[in-house]
Amino acid sequence: MRKSIYLLLIMLTLGACKNFSSKQQEPLARVYNAYLYREDLSSIFPPHISYADSIKMAQGYIDKWIRNQLFLRLAEGNLPAEEKNVERQIAGFRASLLIHKYQQYLIEQNLDTIIPSYEINEYFENNGNNFMLDNPAISGIYVKVPLSAPIRDRMVAWFRNGDFMQIETYTGQHAESFIWFDDEWVYLHDILLNLPAGSFNPSASLSGLDHIMVTDSEYQYFIGITDYLAPRSQMPISMATQKIKSIILNKRKIKFLNELEKSVLTEGSSKNSYQYF
């Protein structure tokens, strides 16, 4: 078998397989009276594939073909006749697949995917109660400072006094990393990923808490909380925007497909393309 695969790859590389028909080629595998030939594998290899990967891919393809042929033989020999009559199912599947592909093609060509901000705002105003937080969300800042940095203890005072310019200057000089999100909302668990594992209990209520500060052997981590939303609060529109866009686009698709179906029926009727008996 492997000798045949090596020969296959050499012939594919030289392009020689195109000069042989199935009947002229030495088969690569047989299951009862079914044969697998080299030309059956000529299109499975992606461009620029390595020789070693080609060997592996060819062997996998042949092994899978053998298994499928053995299962097919068992199915044809053991299933009742009515279970083997799959032509109608195949035709139905083909028709559904082609229709779906054509509809998707028309959607891609014709559907307007630009959603202006006023439409998002209007949808949120009318349906805001459908967008609730499953997890707490915060806005604020995150700073990671080496323990060797000076006056780390002033971070809390600067934050409580709203001296963000001082914090920005300090982080620019001493911080290992920092994230400013005081003008947006993020999920608490996303920010906590920046803290040492297990250093803060995310199930603890943050209501009334204005900062989180933890320390490990090398760094001090500071999260300043400018605003907080508890679970089951209404989601801010900034966090709901992507969901709203998906909903609006889906509604447009449904409307487009309904109108397409009506136009197809109207055109078919005008051309007398169908009738009821």
Per-residue pLDDT of 1-60, as tens digits, reads 555 555 555 455 444 334 444 445 778 899 988 999 988 888 888 888 888 888 888 899
Q: Provide the residue range defining the domain that includes 142.
A: 133-229
Residue 101 belongs to some domain of the structure: yes
Same domain, 193 and 139: yes
- Alpha carbon distance 166, 55 (integer Å): 63
Asked if residue 89 is part of any domain, the answer here is: no
**Summary mean pLDDT of the chain:** 87
In a shared domain, residues 111 and 246 = yes
Same domain? 38 vs 171 = no
Same domain, 180 and 193: yes
Same domain assignment for residues 121 and 150? no
Domain total of the chain: 3
Structure confidence at residue 67 (pLDDT): 92
pLDDT of residue 17: 38
What mean pLDDT comes out for the span 109-128? 96
Q: Tell me, what's the pLDDT at 41?
A: 84
Verify that 124 and 77 share a domain, yes or no: no
Sequence-distant (≥ 6) Cβ neighbours of residue 178 within 8 angstroms: 141, 142, 143, 144, 171
Q: Is residue 90 part of a domain?
A: no
Q: pTM, whole model, 2 decimals?
A: 0.68
Section 52-71 average pLDDT: 90
- Model confidence at 192: pLDDT above 70: yes
Q: How many CA atoms lie within 13 A of 262 on its CB side?
A: 6
pLDDT of residue 18: 41
- Are 126 and 263 found together in one domain? yes
Is residue 57 one of the residues assigned to a domain? Answer: yes
Confidence of residue 225 (pLDDT cuts 50, 70, 90): very high
pLDDT at 205: 63
- 164: Cβ contacts below 8 Å, ≥ 6 apart: 141, 158, 182
Section 173-184 average pLDDT:
93
155 & 215 share domain: yes
Looking at the structure, tell me whether residues 198 and 163 fall in a common domain: yes
One-letter identity of residue 104: Q
Domain end position, chosen among 21, 55, 84: 84
Can you give the pLDDT at residue 112?
A: 94
CA distance linking residue 176 with residue 218, whole number of Å: 11
The mean-pLDDT minimum among 3-7, 71-75, 225-229 falls in: 3-7
Residues 271 and 143 in one domain: no
Identify the pLDDT of residue 223.
93
- Cβ neighbours of residue 187 closer than 8 Å, sequence gap 6 or more: 135, 136, 137
| Separation between Cα atoms, residue 236 and residue 238, nearest integer Å | 5
**Whether residue 149 is found in the same domain as residue 124:** no
For the cut 70, the answer to whether the pLDDT of residue 269 exceeds it is yes
pLDDT bucket at 209, cuts 50 / 70 / 90: confident
Rounded Cα distance between 241 and 185, Å, is 12
Residue in 40, 233, 53, 223 with CA at minimum distance from that of residue 145: 223
Residue 13 lies in a domain: yes
Residue 263 pLDDT exceeds 90: yes
Residues 101 and 70 in one domain: no
49: left (phi over 0), alpha (psi -120 to 50) or beta: beta
Residue 16 lies in a domain: yes
pLDDT at position 264: 92
